[in-house]
Amino acid sequence: MWKVRNERGQSLIMALIILGVLMIGLVTVLLFARTDLQHSQTQTNKNSAYYIAEAGLQRAIRDIDTSLANNQDPATYFSDASFNGGSYEVTLTPKTNPSGENIGFTLLSTGTYENNTTTISAWIRQPLLYSMEGLNYAIYSFGNTTISTLSALLNLHNIQVNGNVHGNGTVKMTNTGLLSSNPSISGTVSSTSLANIQVQGLSSGKKVVRSLIPMPLFDFDSAREGAKRVGKYVNGNLSSISLLGLTPAHKIIFVDGNCSITGLDLLGLSLADRTIVVNGNFSGSLSVGGVNLVNTNLNIIAKQNIEFLGAVTGLQVNGIVFAQGYNRYTNLPDATTGNVTVAGHMEVNGYLGGNQITLGAGILSG
């Protein structure tokens, strides 16, 4: 009898041990399950923080694109304190090249969700052309265009445009010389409102209302590298192109500064069949109209302003005349730049574009 009782006691102890092991195993499984659930929840929160950061990044890119399209400086900080249960903060920092010029933007976006934080980054490079639409016109201005022929005596230098004209602001063209006629425009004149179109004698059928057209963006950084490889690169300001020792192979001239030239440079002897890109202001001073003319294939592109002054000015270009309207150091829109100003006669057989266009007299064709 005692032996049987002893065996029963042993069985009870064994059962308790097995039960204890099972309970320990169950607790272990529950702890692992809880840990795995916590890890899964943490990973879900991290993923949510990442997607919120991505949403902030996309919002910043969209706003930057809109600002650049409207020729405005983009914001440097974006945030949303309540976005899908979390929040994001985005900072923008200009990215520079070895010359210290802005070639794009670095974005850092931090998303937060349930105390989990994720930071992602992106680099936005300024494109060659933000919008192609502005290139579809013989004359394009992001702001105002003013062309008058104060010297149009005897109907010799009336305004002529072979193509379409667009200005987001006021477009004003007048012939005021003796016996002058109305400006001759083969295409249409468009702006953001009919009241902006102030072209002498223009029929209503040629007046068109269009929404704001963004300023095209020229890639000055690529032009610089191209000039270093196959053209002529000038590191600094330039006062005389004729002294550069140009050869026929130098099709592109890049001036990493301001360029100021005189009538001798504009005779066309040293500028034929070339593209001049000026990373600053391009200016000239002429004194005798009809003599100091460039009547050859030539492209003039400046990041800031293009100005030709003088009581009687003459300038003829078969190609492109374009002023970007950006600060040369920040590569951001600058409302004080982008001006194309010619005091007297001007003829452009190609494309004329800028922020503000003011011509004293001229024949323009596209």
Per-residue model confidence as pLDDT tens digits over 200-220? 899 999 999 999 988 888 888
Rounded CA-CA distance 313/151 in Å is 11
Give residue limits of the domains in the chain: 48-126, 133-365
Task: Report the greatest alpha carbon distance in the chain.
Answer: 143
Q: At residue 42, what are phi and psi to the nearest 5 degrees?
A: -60, -45
| b (16+ CB within 10 A) / e for 76-99 | eebebeebeebbbbbebebbeeee
The closest of 12, 273, 49 to 4, measured between CA atoms, is 12
Rounded CA-CA distance 298/307 in Å is 16
Rounded CA-CA distance 309/358 in Å is 12
The closest of 83, 39, 41 to 58, measured between CA atoms, is 83
The closest of 130, 140, 133, 177 to 158, measured between CA atoms, is 177
Q: How far is CA 111 from the centre of its chain?
A: 28
Rounded CA-CA distance 174/285 in Å is 24
The closest of 263, 260, 267 to 294, measured between CA atoms, is 267
Q: Which stretch of DSSP H or E encloses residue 176? A: none
pLDDT at residue number 316: 67
Rounded CA-CA distance 139/137 in Å is 5
The answer for residues whose C-beta is within 8 angstroms of residue 93's C-beta and 6 or more apart is 76, 105, 106, 107, 108
Q: At residue 314, what are phi and psi to the nearest 5 degrees?
A: -130, 130
Alpha helices for 159-297 (secondary structure H): 220-230
- Residue 179 Rama label (left phi>0; alpha psi -120 to 50; beta): left
pLDDT at residue number 129: 40
Q: How far is CA 206 from the centre of its chain?
A: 30
Rounded CA-CA distance 103/123 in Å is 10
Neighbours of 320 (CB within 10 A): 17
SS3 assignment, position 320:
strand
Q: Are 166 and 192 in contact (CB under 8 A)?
A: no
Q: What pTM, to 2 d.p., does this model score?
A: 0.66
pLDDT at residue number 319: 82
pLDDT at residue number 271: 65
Ordered per-residue pLDDT tens for the chain, 366 residues: 445 555 666 777 777 777 777 777 777 777 776 666 666 667 788 889 999 999 998 888 888 878 776 767 788 888 888 888 899 999 988 877 666 666 778 899 999 998 889 999 888 765 544 567 888 899 999 999 998 875 444 445 577 888 899 999 999 998 776 666 788 888 999 999 999 999 989 999 999 999 998 888 888 888 898 899 889 999 999 887 766 777 778 889 999 999 887 654 544 445 667 889 999 999 876 544 433 444 567 788 999 999 887 654 556 667 889 999 988 887 778 889 999 988 766 777 788 999 999 887 544 433
Q: Are 277 and 252 in contact (CB under 8 A)?
A: yes
pLDDT at residue number 102: 67
Please report the sign of the dihedral spanned by the C-alpha atoms of residue 25, residue 26, residue 31, residue 33. positive
SS3 assignment, position 196:
helix
pLDDT at residue number 243: 66
Nearest 5 degrees, angle CA 126-CA 143-CA 124? Answer: 10
